[in-house]
Amino acid sequence: MTSRLVFSGIFVVCAALLGVAFYMEHVMGLEPCPLCWLQRFGFMGAGLVSLLAVLHNPRGFGIRVYGLLMALTAGAGLAVAGRQLWLQSLPEDQVPACGPSVDYMLDVLPLTEVLTTALRGTGDCAEVVWRFLGLSIPGWTAVFFSLVVITGLALAFRTGERSESGGA
């Protein structure tokens, strides 16, 4: 399987997951918490790196660089999903207070404070509003982020490269 096909698949998966996120927000009426927004940015980053790799069609060292960048962006998203899963596992008396919406924070706070607040998480982030096969939304994002990290690392550290057509 060529690296271009792998990067294309990751791009499609990231785009589909973002589509699901927007469906859940705009059709199902689920309001994304600050950590949910950051996870979206993780998928956007991994998807963008994958799209650039598809367009560039690198070979050799370039594949490794794109694979590592994809793993890093997905790894950041995985860390955020892990933080949200930890918040969801807290006993009710230890859950932080709910905070304002991301839109409101962006309107009234400096960006650094919005990011700090978002990374800490709020009580909204600890609430489980949807489950599928026993996993909450951050549980599923953690699964997909893990798959993207593994794929990126496999591309970055693979040995015995096969000849691929095109690219620089």
pLDDT tens track for 17-50: 999 999 999 998 888 888 888 899 999 999 999 9
- Asked, for residue 115, whether it belongs to a domain, the answer is yes
CATH at residue 18: 1.20.1550.10
With respect to residue 117, please indicate whether it lies within any of the assigned structural domains: yes
Confidence of residue 123 (pLDDT cuts 50, 70, 90): low
Residues whose CB is less than 8 angstroms from the CB of residue 130 and which lie 6 or more positions away in sequence, other chains included: 24, 28, 30, 136, 137
For residue 29, give its domain range.
Answer: 3-157
Predicted model pTM: 0.78
* Structural domains of the chain, count: 1
User: With the CA atoms of 72, 75, 76 and 80 taken in that order, what torsion angle do they form, in degrees rounded to the nearest 10?
Assistant: 180
Model confidence at 85, in pLDDT bands (50, 70, 90)?
Answer: confident
Q: Is 134 exposed, middle or buried (0-12, 13-18, 19+ CB in 10 A)?
A: exposed
Give the mean pLDDT of 58-64. 89
pLDDT tier, 129 (very low <50, low <70, confident <90, very high otherwise): confident
Within a domain: 162: no
Considering the domain boundaries, does residue 80 fall inside one?
Answer: yes
Decide if 163 is inside a domain.
Answer: no
